[in-house]
Chain A
Amino acid sequence: MRAHPASAQGHGRFWVGLLPWAWMLFFFVLPFALIVNVSLSTPDLAVPPYVSPFAGTTADGAPAFRPDPASYARLGDELAALATPGADRPYLAAYANSVLLAALTTLCCLLLGYPFAYRLARAPEVMRNTLLMLVMLPFWTSFLLRVYAWMGLLDSSETGLINQALLGLGVVAEPLPLLYNTGAVLVGMVYSYLPFMVLPLYANLVKLDLRLLEAARDLGARPATVFLRVTLPLSLRGIVAGSMLVFIPAVGEFVIPDLLGGGSVMTIGRSIWDDFGPNQDWPMAAAVAVVMVVMLIAPIVLLHRHGRRAGRGA
């Protein structure tokens, strides 16, 4: 005789599942299949501006599949031109910029956020919620306006806030060119993504059993050793989760490079945006997006694994 929970039976569950399954399949998975489809299309001066590989027919009138690999070929050509110095490789440069920026953002968020989250997790219990809310509060206010705030702070003219301060203190004689460069974008990204690093780190560190640290101290380990051999390994999951939560969306970021980078910082997000908008080359935009998602699969899987394990361990 075997038994199973009675509530698991019946058709109720099927109907409950139908809504999210249908919604996500139609509005998330299908659109993604369309990206792949369009990435194999030919640009065209039409509405929408591409000819689908399924559009033509064979000689006997049956529907045919004629993919146009031109968009991917452009990316391939840039890759092949790596050996040629001085060649123009706009897409490759955008990929490299994006990954580098995302990696730097992740690193800065980690260096800034880990000691912060550690202190927060050790704060008196009555204060923790308030302190955490103070981290979240900027996140709830408009993202665009927070980036805008940095436009004012970093402004390269003498009216820029940081320049005003530096000039006023006599540190510099001429205003510094702070805005519209990679540094400005990095500051904006770290600023915007910091909460995504702090929250998983905090959630992890707050569960850390302090007795383990005391035990390590008791066994004669110096504070630095305790940190490196006990605290750090135990918070690895929080570090991975936080890093992935910052890195993955940062790779595709569009707004911050656009507003703080000016014309100088090209990223994948901007390149997709430009091909989609002004250039009207949707197949190219789609191909660039497909390659980016393929690149992000490894970190996404890593995040998923750690998320699941953390969920079980909690």
Chain B
Amino acid sequence: MSGGWGGRAWVLGVYAFLYVPILCLIVFSFTAGEITTRLDGLSLRWYAALARDTELHAAVLLSLRVGALAATAAVVVGTAAAVILVRAGDYPGSRFFLGMMSAPMVMPEVVVGLSLVLLFTHPALAILGGRGVAAIWVAHTTLCTAYVAVLVASRLREMDRALEEAALDLGCPPLKVFFVITVPVIAPALAAGWLLAFTLSMDDFVLAAMLSDPGSTTLPVLVFARLHHGLKPEINALATVIVVVVSIAVLLANRLLLGPPRAAAQPSAARGG
């Protein structure tokens, strides 16, 4: 299988499998007809429809807002969790904490969604305000915190502890060390974590659908409803816009995050003595 042509064909085949469906979506977004899988002439009419679709605009705005808020909260909670995971060592409950932090990543979404619905509709917890935007935000923050924690923890493990010790040694108080040394050094991981959390939140359907009330329709909830009520090439137009935006964002993020090498932040040689 390491052989030349067979292997290369396999790789190309897998890429085709990944990209042909997306290319189809894009091609048929330019149809002039009503059918989502046939090019009945070329037009931009579905993009025009997209531009007039106020219901969709509201859903996009809500998703962007929830995504940004959830990503920000997840970076805060997840970074704190990563610091504990990497730096607190063994303490009673440390293994439970590790399990609790990683479980949301593998737990089926319907279970997480159901459990949070039960929390938000619990008679004794009316103070939480029931289902709605805040509940979706909490759900997304919980899910994304786990991802951010894993990402930041691995960066934190690579970081040379001596950097923080040097700052302490040079007279910097511990809390300030975290903000002027640790945060800048792990900044790429924080940014990557934010972006990952934002995308996860933007993309989530199950949690948002279970926790939404009539006033809180996020983009995936709206799209899901429309997929059930007849397909229109407008959705292809939406998909094309998303693919273009995401591709540009991923390329930019790749440049920004992976671009400058940070040699000195690599792990130090084993300490003697």
Complex Cα–Cα for A292 and B111 (A): 9
Complex Cα–Cα for A16 and B77 (A): 9
CB-CB under 8 A from B7, the residues of chain A are: 115, 118-119
Nearest CB in chain A to that of B115: its residue: A31
Query: Do A7 and B77 touch (CB < 8 A)?
Result: no
CB-CB under 8 A from A35, the residues of chain B are: 111, 114-115, 118
Q: State the Cβ distance, B136 to closest chain A Cβ, in Å.
A: 12
Interface locus among B44-52, B64-72, B220-228: B220-228
Interface locus among A72-80, A83-91, A249-257: A249-257
Q: Is A1 an interface residue when CB atoms closer than 8 A count as contact?
A: no
Query: Do A24 and B100 touch (CB < 8 A)?
Result: yes
Nearest CB in chain A to that of B20: its residue: A153
- The size of the chain B interface, using a CB distance under 8 A, is 87
Query: Do A48 and B121 touch (CB < 8 A)?
Result: yes
> Given A146-B21, A255-B224 in contact, is the A118-B2 Cβ separation under 8 Å?
yes
**From DSSP, what is the main secondary structure of chain B's interface residues?**
helix
Query: Do A293 and B106 touch (CB < 8 A)?
Result: no
Q: Is A281 an interface residue when CB atoms closer than 8 A count as contact?
A: no
In the complex, which residues 1-42 of chain A have their Cβ closer than 8 Å to any Cβ of chain B? 7-8, 10, 12-13, 16-17, 19-21, 23-25, 27-32, 34-35, 37-38
Contact of B21 among A113, A135, A149, A155 (CB under 8 A): A149
Query: Do A138 and B18 touch (CB < 8 A)?
Result: yes
Contact of B199 among A140, A254, A272 (CB under 8 A): A140
Q: Is B24 an interface residue when CB atoms closer than 8 A count as contact?
A: yes
Provide the B89-127 mask, 1 if CB < 8 A to any CB of A, else 0. Answer: 100000001011111101111111011111101110000
Contact of A149 among B25, B99, B174 (CB under 8 A): B25
Contact of A151 among B165, B206, B231 (CB under 8 A): B231
- The size of the chain A interface, using a CB distance under 8 A, is 89
Contact of B109 among A24, A252, A268 (CB under 8 A): A252
Provide the A136-150 mask, 1 if CB < 8 A to any CB of B, else 0. Answer: 111011111110111
Q: State the Cβ distance, B86 to closest chain A Cβ, in Å.
A: 11
CB-CB under 8 A from B160, the residues of chain A are: none
CB-CB under 8 A from A120, the residues of chain B are: 11
Contact of B1 among A115, A249, A289 (CB under 8 A): A115
Contact of A272 among B100, B114, B227 (CB under 8 A): B114
CB-CB under 8 A from A28, the residues of chain B are: 100, 103-104, 112, 115, 142
Query: Do A191 and B246 touch (CB < 8 A)?
Result: no
CB-CB under 8 A from B121, the residues of chain A are: 47-48
Contact of B117 among A7, A152, A276 (CB under 8 A): A276
Nearest CB in chain B to that of A249: its residue: B108
Q: Is B243 an interface residue when CB atoms closer than 8 A count as contact?
A: yes
Query: Do B210 and A251 touch (CB < 8 A)?
Result: no
Provide the B80-93 mask, 1 if CB < 8 A to any CB of A, else 0. Answer: 11011001110000
Q: Is B38 an interface residue when CB atoms closer than 8 A count as contact?
A: yes
CB-CB under 8 A from B138, the residues of chain A are: 27
Q: Is A186 an interface residue when CB atoms closer than 8 A count as contact?
A: no
Q: Is B14 an interface residue when CB atoms closer than 8 A count as contact?
A: yes
Q: State the Cβ distance, A259 to closest chain B Cβ, in Å.
A: 6
Provide the B1-33 mask, 1 if CB < 8 A to any CB of A, else 0. Answer: 110000110110011011111101100100000
Complex Cα–Cα for A115 and B117 (A): 42
Q: Report how many A-B pairs have Cβ atoms within 8 Å.
A: 241
Q: State the Cβ distance, B154 to closest chain A Cβ, in Å.
A: 8
> Given A119-B10, A142-B203, A254-B109 in contact, is the A133-B1 Cβ separation under 8 Å?
no
Q: State the Cβ distance, B175 to closest chain A Cβ, in Å.
A: 7
Query: Do B119 and A245 touch (CB < 8 A)?
Result: no
Q: Is B36 an interface residue when CB atoms closer than 8 A count as contact?
A: yes
CB-CB under 8 A from B24, the residues of chain A are: 149, 152-153, 161
Q: Is A248 an interface residue when CB atoms closer than 8 A count as contact?
A: yes
Q: Is A264 an interface residue when CB atoms closer than 8 A count as contact?
A: no
Q: Is B269 an interface residue when CB atoms closer than 8 A count as contact?
A: no
Q: Is B145 an interface residue when CB atoms closer than 8 A count as contact?
A: yes
Contact of A145 among B1, B18, B238 (CB under 8 A): B238
User: Using a CB–CB distance below 8 Å, which chain A residues touch chain B?
Assistant: 7-8, 10, 12-13, 16-17, 19-21, 23-25, 27-32, 34-35, 37-38, 47-48, 112-113, 115-116, 118-120, 122, 129, 131, 133-138, 140-146, 148-153, 155, 159-161, 164, 191, 194, 223, 227, 244-245, 248-249, 251-255, 259, 268-269, 272-273, 276, 282, 285-286, 289, 292-293, 296, 300, 303-304, 307
User: Using a CB–CB distance below 8 Å, which chain B residues touch chain A?
Assistant: 1-2, 7-8, 10-11, 14-15, 17-22, 24-25, 28, 35-38, 76-78, 80-81, 83-84, 87-89, 97, 99-104, 106-112, 114-119, 121-123, 138-139, 141-142, 145, 149, 164-165, 168, 174-175, 199, 202-203, 205-206, 210, 220, 223-224, 227, 231, 235, 238-239, 242-243, 246-247, 249-250, 254, 258
Q: Name 16 interchain pairs, CB-CB below 8 A, sorted by A.
A: A10-B174, A23-B141, A32-B115, A34-B119, A35-B111, A47-B121, A119-B11, A144-B220, A148-B25, A153-B21, A249-B106, A253-B108, A254-B110, A289-B110, A292-B111, A293-B111
Which 5 pairs across A and B sit closest by C-beta, in order of nearness? A252-B108, A31-B115, A20-B81, A149-B21, A34-B118
